[in-house]
Amino acid sequence: MKRYLVLEDGTVFEGTAFGAKAEKFGEVVFTTGMTGYQEAITDQSYAKQILVFTNPLIGNYGVNVEDNESIDPQISGVVCQELARVPSNWRMGDSLDHFLAEKGIPGIAGVDTRKLTKILRNEGSLKGCLVSELDKEADLAAIADHDYSGFLAPAVSTTKPYPNPGTKRNVVLIDYGVKHSILRELSARGCNTVVLPYTATAEDVLSLHPDGVMLSNGPGDPETMTEAAKMVAEVEKHVPIFGICMGHQILARANGAKTFKMKFGHRGFNHPVKDLETGEIAFTSQNHGYAIDPASLDPEKITVTHQEINDGVIEGIQLKKYPAFSVQFHPDAAPGPLDAVSLFDKFMKLIDEGKEKKQNA
């Protein structure tokens, strides 16, 4: 069965359909990851995006329950050069084709992903759609009319608080589209975590008497997260904060910085990031289309701690007045290298120091 990928610039790619029998719209982006297609597809930071895999073959080891980063992924579609015909792995519980069909996510195989990626690198991320029957004029009109709202937290955040029990430190995690791998890292350190929806206020957070607050990853334009920034501006005065991805951008905006939309973003599991204090280089897992504007940073409030080697994008900040820091990449990886996983230990240290100060006060 044929399927078409139509881009807003009029480019059309013809391929073979797999996954769900659905027509979807989204921002077309690419990832350079060599593996981890399941984790990428279930990462809620890809909400309303059509994801192009530059690795030629995906689906070869199927999917399994353990590697899901969310239960109900909001990705709009999947594009690849080749879908494995006979997936096989001892951990496999289902095929990628069947998994996508169950989740209502359409896919297209047989696409020249090298050519497509070059278009996206030159033109920047483009809007597009996946359709079963091509009507180019109507498809382009529909792409132009479709709502690509930058405020996506309501589509991916939990609606009610829930626990991720532990026995040591009390952590509140604000869910902007959290990856399960973040919860796993907190659990590995014995954290008693309560997950709150994106609508949580400072009063909601502080009423739980947390030892620390985690700001999760998530999709959309950070400029739309005004209420979240207000919450963070108050909470940072009381407890340590660690932000990842969207959480990183929210922490920056809560302290007067601005963000901008990148041409085609960072998506993949091999991005080199330099720790500006130690000079060490970490290879990191990334998925973001927005970044902090360096010209907007107040040096009296914020120190830049990490920077992307390839293009100089700000990848980490720390507040000077409060025990709060954030990174644009994923130290939890899933998939990708765990070079920067010690940042969770840094957060634990800040929590323990804060608890000690309170006890000695």
Q: How far is residue 31 CA from its own chain's centroid? A: 12
Catalytic member of 180, 248, 266, 330: 330
Would you say 240 and 323 are in contact if contact means Cβ atoms under 8 Å apart? yes
CB atoms within 10 A of CB 357: 10
Query: Among the residues of 24-168, which ranges form H helices?
Result: 37-41, 96-103, 113-123, 136-145, 153-156
> Annotated catalytic, 129?
no
Q: Record the tokens describing residue 198, joined without a space.
A: 């994106």
Read off φ and ψ for residue 83, nearest 5 degrees. Answer: -105, 130
107 annotated ligand binder: no
Close Cβ partners of 341 (under 8 Å, ≥ 6 residues apart):
185, 331, 332, 333
Nearest Cα neighbor of 190 from 28, 352, 9 is: 352
37 annotated ligand binder: no
- d(Cα 316, Cα 306) in Å, to the nearest integer? 4
Please, is 299 exposed, middle or buried when counting C-beta atoms within 10 Å of its C-beta (0-12, 13-18, 19+)?
exposed
312 annotated ligand binder: no
Would you say 32 and 268 are in contact if contact means Cβ atoms under 8 Å apart? yes
Phi-psi region of 20 (alpha: psi -120 to 50; beta: other; left: phi over 0): beta
218 annotated ligand binder: yes
Beta bridge partners of 6: 12, 129
Q: Record the tokens describing residue 261, joined without a space.
A: 């939309």
> Annotated catalytic, 204?
no
Beta bridge partners of 318: 303, 325
268 annotated ligand binder: no
150 annotated ligand binder: no
318 annotated ligand binder: no
Catalytic member of 67, 97, 211, 332: 332
> Annotated catalytic, 80?
no
247 annotated ligand binder: no
Catalytic member of 67, 191, 245, 248: 245
Q: How far apart are the first and last CA of the chain?
A: 69
Binding site: what residues are annotated?
Answer: 45, 218, 220, 246, 249, 287, 289-290
Binding site for L-glutamine: what residues are annotated?
Answer: 45, 218, 220, 246, 249, 287, 289-290
What residues are annotated to the active site?
A: 245, 330, 332
